[in-house]
Structure 1
Amino acid sequence: MSGGGTADFFYREAQRLVYVARSAFKLLQIQKQYKLITPGSSVLDLGCAPGAWLQVACQSLGPLKNGGAVVGIDLKKVKVPSTHCDSRVSTVSADVMNLPKDEFLNLYPQKEGFSVVRYVSTCYWYHN
């Protein structure tokens, strides 16, 4: 835990449930309320470090047979967390603002685009 304070409930709970960060609970709450990520969704997570949102997004896709994909992009190299993630999750280390268009388009699952986009700066969501 950074900041030198005492670990709060969500920090301890994230550790217990093997999420890489307490922020996983924010997405769990959003997902419970709005159900943005459905089976087969394609999710783009811009600013994906440390990866807790990748974990919850993958879980929200349901079983592997449902399909779907989660792509995380961050300036930092982010390793896909081994817990709560499967082969549908991938990460790219890049500045999305400088990513060549053809490379970005190659990230699209089945070339159909993304159904859910999360931008970390102030947690904007786009859902079509």
Structure 2
Amino acid sequence: MSGAGTPDFFYREAQRLGYVARSAFKLLQIQKQHKLITQGSSVLDLGCAPGAWLQVACQSLGPLKNGGTVVGIDLKKVKVPPLYCDARVRTVCADVMKLPKNQVRALSPRHKGFSVVLSDMCPLVSGITTRDAALSAGVRNAST
């Protein structure tokens, strides 16, 4: 959405195409330029809510017969979007910052790890500029 609260072009386009968020276009552009996700890739999406990158990642795997997997982790419970996603996509509700590495690896095919790791995470924000800046920088106990 644009700053004025009116839907912008990318918001409207995401709605028209069935993506759950305009952020899908960020990953589509990255994928177009760099082809990070290939057929058969195992993809980990950190901070996957609301699920637009899950949609693009699954699309990028190609047809279901080509295999591959997409696992999304988020603090929020995320329902796998029905459009563009198939049985290769699943989500986990957890704090990825506190999840042990071996538990993350256990989510991957044959427990060997992921070939692609995506993240569009941001810290939870309060709306208080100085506090949010400190949270973004990773400073604990930021007060205003």
TM-score, length basis structure 1: 0.88
Runs of 4+ in 1 over 6 A off after TM superposition: none
Aligned identity (percent) is 78
- 1:78 is matched with which residue? 78
- Count of aligned positions: 122
Q: Which runs of 5+ in 1 are unaligned?
A: 123-128
Between the aligned partners of 1:84 and 1:90, the Cα distance in structure 2 is: 13
* Contact 2:2–2:8 (CA under 8 A) maintained in structure 1: no
- Residue identity in the other structure for 2:120: V
- Residue identity in the other structure for 2:114: F
1:98 Cα shift?
A: 1.8
Q: How does 1:1-128 map to 2 (within 5 A)?
A: 5-121=5-121
Structure 1 window deviating more from structure 2 (93-102 vs 23-32): it is: 93-102
1:90 Cα shift?
A: 0.5
1:2 Cα shift?
A: 8.4
Point out the structure with the larger strand share. 1
Q: Which runs of 5+ in 2 are unaligned?
A: 123-144
RMSD over aligned Cα, in angstroms?
Answer: 1.7
Deviation string for 1:88-112 (max 9, x for gaps)? 0000000112224443232011222
- 2:125 is matched with which residue? none
Structure 1 window deviating more from structure 2 (20-29 vs 107-116): it is: 107-116
